[in-house]
Structure 1
């Protein structure tokens, strides 16, 4: 099995699925960010691929060969913030030192608490920091952040997120489209998911029945690309690398958005199972 980090290290803007107008527009905007060192905020709904876009921008920039260090903002609690960012007395390097020359990504930045917000704001204002070992270092990395559109806006409105820090983090802002807004990308995303899955698991890549692909483009995906990927990979795993109609439909009933799902699943069941069985029975009579 191939290492996930190794696969992610290959992401570039050119490898992103961008057949839809929404994604083509985003990739054009993102390409401008590969020539910048200014802080970048990538916002969007759950599962839209914010971290993947951040990694692709890093890999496509001059910092690409250098470290890409991702830290979940929720981990930066008052007790853990200092050691995670700046290292500890036992000699472990902090995220800031490990990201030297490259990129530091703060995931789900809206989850930063007051202590971490203040500490990061001070860091950005001074452009320098002191490690746990007492070494004074200048900031030599690009800071990127991801944030959930609604959650971040709500915390700003309620005064739970520093406006000063938000201003520091959002020199540039990119917004990830939802899967509904990039519906034309779904067939190509599925192909990409299957290719990566087959490569990672070292199995042959299956063909996708037309009616199954049609269903994927018509069902709602509230958790966007992440949910689509989970569905396709689960079907692959459960059906031993084949698209077994019964497994596909059962998995849809458990995981997909319920709106209009029943009629769509029944339609697919008829096309993939009932109709072929009827044709087979007719041929034998």
Structure 2
């Protein structure tokens, strides 16, 4: 049954039942109020989408595509250990950051993986393997993201540079988000070509963001990520193929492809001039 026919049927039922008290009907399966994790499941949802995942809950079998049709899901889980958060925050606060695009960011540390997986019940690599349906996956990151006081490139971008061949994990680890503007997800956009999205983008949803929630995004999903002041997010990505030329795409987040600082040799040191020129040539390609 199509969405229009379903809605027409619901209206007819409502007319016939108008004298009955407290009757409520579910909204359209594609409406922002009925996205993954909300109390009301889509009418055509598989059983695994009827509610959010609980801490440590086993994810459904690989033949159940739990991120469809919207292109994302989340797992509600225990917050990261306080000492782990402090070490991540210290590293971020004391490091020289790359301020580019909508974020200020640095390359992550080992504690980032611990924080991302806190309370999930399995490794994020296992989840990535299942979502990408591949045993061999390549990892990008982790990256620590923070507030950029002068953000640029604020238009929606891919959730992973490799698009359909990638998957991303995002989690808030410090601070509280008073507004959901920090994360906007354009549901179903992973089924659109870039031109289609530009001409007819679906309305974004703004899910609740907290330190007890791990987001899993289809790589081809379009989204906005803008950390508020005082907040720290973590990102890690997985793909079935190397990044390759995707790092040069104009519709990817800078923090996903440019998060390592390469120390330059002193120009006057032995071989320094040659190394410096070669580095700059590579950097400016």
Q: TM-score, normalised by structure 1?
A: 0.26
Q: TM-score, normalised by structure 2?
A: 0.26
Q: Which protein is richer in strand relative to its size? A: 2
